Amino acid sequence: MNFCLVGAGFSCAVIGRELAGAGHRVTIIDVRDHVAGNCHTERDTETNVMTHVYGPHIFHTDDQEVWEYVNRFTTFKSYVNRVKTTSMGQVFSLPINLHTINQFFGKTMRPDEARAFIEQQADTSIEDPQTFEEQAMRFVGKELYEAFFKGYTQKQWGCHPSELPASILKRLPVRFNYNDNYFFHRFQGMPEHGYTKLVEGILDHPNITVKLSTRFERSMLDEYDHVFFSGPLDGFFDYELGRLGYRTLDFERFTYQGDYQGCAVMNYGEEEVPYTRITEHKHFSPWEEHDGSVCYREYSRECGEEDIPYYPIRLVKEKALLADYVEKARQTDKVTFVGRLGTYRYLDMDVTIREALDTARGFLKCVEEKKPAPAFFVEA
């Protein structure tokens, strides 16, 4: 059969590869002039540093099959994500750990002492936290909340933490040991030659044709037996019910001779500093040597019509509109919506690949059983 996959990010690359492997003809189109979607990496022309063009990406997963899948197409170098934050004139280690607590309060506590101390700091008068602010105050108390969560969250989401749901901060965001590895997952690494090379490897199959700088139009539907759409769900319907809310990012590039900040990601917790973080890309490739350095200051703001949608907002208003679009999608034949934009969810790369593999398998089963494929294999 003849399929069109819209978007050359991980979602459609993986689905396309699975369908091509099953003997179908696959055309992948992307409006951008490169593959890999938001995970795109390229060498900075001035410094030759491998740069994460749409923001820093670290691969981490507990999913063995996904880890083996990505390792089929490129070499992964071991990489441990260690994040720092600048707040109140000092540099602290994130996520908040024993080092952060001892440094912040000027103490030398052992794990149990720190646990008891943080319990004293916590605002226990809040019995059933409803908002992000209440949740953070309940977990860590006012001082840590104000230094590490309040300003950053306000900048990231453009609203006060008291307007965000408690669910954003699910569990106690504190470690009572010196483990500063940002992620807990078993597998963590960085593709040696960047994410774009990895996606190119996935797409390298005789049954796959890639068309870049090409925008999908609904009039193309008739040319294919089925379409997978990883672009914005509301965009597919020309925003006819309104726009789903997103945050977008602006990156301010600058170069430096030497080592600018000594780590890949430095957050800025204070509201007075307009950017949320600075990424120094050469630290993502510690096996390479570069005298020059390229850094991105990252600013978060409301996504306008011409901007790149990054983070879905998914508050009450957006969820209501999402439900209407989901209904429209269900009434549309021959299209399956996938990925972070097609299902309006924040997805890490490993989850994206897991869902793509499951979607491809579910779809091939529909083909085999001669049943129509659903609009969503994963709930939006």
Residues making contact with ligand FAD (CB under 6 A): 6-11, 29-32, 37-39, 55-59, 215-216, 230-231, 249, 310, 339-341, 347-350, 352
218 is catalytic: no
Judged by beta carbon, residue 27 or residue 47, the one nearer ligand FAD is 27
Residue 139, burial from CB neighbour count under 10 angstroms (0-12, 13-18, 19+)? buried
Pair 141, 122: CB distance under 8 Å:
yes
Judged by beta carbon, residue 129 or residue 339, the one nearer ligand FAD is 339
Q: Write down the catalytic residue from 133, 146, 200, 298.
A: 298
247 is catalytic: yes
- Encoding tokens for residue 356? 């793509």
CB of 157 to ligand FAD, least distance (A): 13
Q: Write down the catalytic residue from 277, 280, 325, 355.
A: 277
Give the C-alpha separation, 33 to 214, whole Å.
8
CA 298 to chain centre: 14
Q: Write down the catalytic residue from 247, 297, 314, 345.
A: 247
- Residue spans of alpha helices (H) in the chain: 10-21, 64-73, 98-105, 111-121, 132-144, 151-157, 195-203, 233-236, 316-330, 339-342, 349-368
Judged by beta carbon, residue 161 or residue 231, the one nearer ligand FAD is 231
CB of 298 to ligand FAD, least distance (A): 8
Judged by beta carbon, residue 14 or residue 140, the one nearer ligand FAD is 14
Judged by beta carbon, residue 154 or residue 196, the one nearer ligand FAD is 196
CB of 1 to ligand FAD, least distance (A): 21
Give the C-alpha separation, 6 to 248, whole Å.
21
Residues 6+ apart with CB under 8 A from 372: 333, 334, 366
298 is catalytic: yes
CB of 335 to ligand FAD, least distance (A): 12
Q: What are phi and psi of 89, to 5 degrees?
A: 75, 15
CB of 57 to ligand FAD, least distance (A): 4
Residue 322, burial from CB neighbour count under 10 angstroms (0-12, 13-18, 19+)? buried
Judged by beta carbon, residue 131 or residue 230, the one nearer ligand FAD is 230
192 is catalytic: no
348 is catalytic: yes
CB of 142 to ligand FAD, least distance (A): 29
- Encoding tokens for residue 97? 């750990």
Pair 226, 335: CB distance under 8 Å:
yes
CB of 336 to ligand FAD, least distance (A): 13
Q: Could you tell me which residues are beta bridge partners of residue 280?
A: 295
Residue entry with tokens 């992964």: 76
Q: Write down the catalytic residue from 63, 324, 348, 358.
A: 348
Give the C-alpha separation, 337 to 230, whole Å.
6
Instruction: Output DSSP code: residue 125.
Output: T
Q: Write down the catalytic residue from 175, 224, 270, 344.
A: 175
3-state secondary structure of 336: strand
- Encoding tokens for residue 209? 């044709």
Pair 193, 159: CB distance under 8 Å:
no
3-state secondary structure of 227: strand
3-state secondary structure of 98: helix
Q: Write down the catalytic residue from 33, 171, 238, 240.
A: 171
Q: Write down the catalytic residue from 215, 223, 330, 346.
A: 346
Judged by beta carbon, residue 2 or residue 213, the one nearer ligand FAD is 213
Instruction: Output DSSP code: residue 22.
Output: T
Residues annotated as catalytic are 171, 175, 247, 277, 298, 346, 348
